[in-house]
């Protein structure tokens, strides 16, 4: 495995930069590029796939309340289903109390990592990739070769527990920052993808792995296929709000 001990100030302290992107070549080679489907985010080599929806966290006095998409859909008289979008269930394109986009929230990342560690033989040998386009502050050291996985990614390595750590957050800080955009174990038994433009995360794995995700009450997830369309028109159940509304 290509790895070194070089640290990157913008990365979680649990992770070290890889010496190169070769650990992710199987992903780059397997993606169905330009297809605008799940197989363009997660290599379509797995038995099953799940879409995990990022909840909304609403401020309620001194606390934060977790609200899932199904609840929001019921409030708006729309239908929650695997291909729904935030715009189609809320009926608006206007920003408001939206789910995190491009980042799997820390609580959900922790739950997902807890599930996935039981579906790999290498939980302490995992790889994490982050988009390299977050600006000068997040620029990695010179000479670090990128992984071309539809977007240019910087590859790091560490234990599965690092999935809940945040890039761009101060050490030991509980908030801020963003999750990895891709992570997978060294034995390639599953792959997690959070695209920078999406308010949900896709996971590929074997049937037992995906069933564990779908049945965990701490996550809101739906089964999807590797060919499920993920473009703006993917929701064919709910009406699409006019642009500007």
> Looking at the DSSP assignment, which residues form a beta bridge with residue 155?
129
Per-residue pLDDT of the chain (245 residues; tens, 9 = 90+): 444 456 688 899 999 999 899 999 999 999 999 889 999 999 999 999 999 999 998 887 778 899 999 999 999 999 999 999 999 999 988 877 899 999 999 999 999 999 999 999 999 999 999 999 887 666 777 788 999 998 999 999 999 999 999 998 755 444 578 999 999 999 999 999 999 999 999 999 999 999 999 999 999 999 999 999 998 899 999 999 987 66
CB 91 within 8 A of CB 242: no
Distance CA 100, CA 108 (A): 11
Q: What's the pLDDT score for residue 174?
A: 46
Which helix or strand (DSSP H or E) is residue 200 part of? strand 200-205
Tell me the CA distances in angstroms from 45 to 40, 115, 214, 229, 236, one per residue in order.
Answer: 11, 20, 19, 17, 26
Say what the pLDDT of residue 7 is.
Answer: 66
Q: Give the other-Cβ count within 10 Å of 79's Cβ.
A: 14
Q: Taking a C-beta distance cutoff of 8 angstroms, is the pair 226, 76 a contact? A: no
Whether residue 235 contacts residue 63, with contact meaning beta carbons closer than 8 Å, is answered with: no
């Amino acid at each position: 495995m290509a790895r070194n001990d070089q640290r990157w100030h913008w990365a979680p302290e649990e992770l070290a930069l890889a010496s190169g992107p070769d650990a992710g070549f199987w992903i780059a080679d397997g993606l169905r590029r330009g297809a605008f489907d799940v197989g363009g985010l997660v290599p379509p080599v797995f038995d099953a796939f799940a879409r995990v929806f990022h909840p909304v966290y609403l401020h309620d006095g001194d606390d934060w309340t977790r609200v899932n998409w199904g609840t929001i859909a019921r409030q708006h008289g729309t239908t929650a289903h695997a291909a729904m979008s935030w715009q189609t269930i809320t009926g608006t394109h206007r920003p408001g109390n939206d789910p995190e986009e491009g980042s799997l929230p820390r609580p959900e990342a922790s739950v997902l990592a807890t599930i996935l560690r039981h579906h790999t033989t290498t939980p302490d040998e995992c790889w994490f990739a982050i988009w390299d386009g977050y600006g000068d502050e997040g620029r990695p050291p010179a000479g670090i070769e990128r992984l071309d996985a539809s977007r240019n990614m910087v590859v790091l390595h560490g234990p599965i527990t690092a999935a809940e750590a945040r890039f761009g957050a101060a050490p030991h800080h509980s908030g801020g920052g963003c999750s990895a955009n891709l992570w997978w174990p060294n034995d390639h038994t599953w792959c997690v993808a959070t695209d920078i433009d999406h308010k949900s995360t896709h996971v590929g794995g074997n049937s037992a792995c995906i069933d564990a995700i779908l049945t965990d009450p701490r996550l809101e997830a739906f089964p999807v296929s590797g060919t499920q369309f993920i473009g703006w028109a993917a929701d064919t159940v709910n009406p699409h709000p006019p642009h500007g509304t």
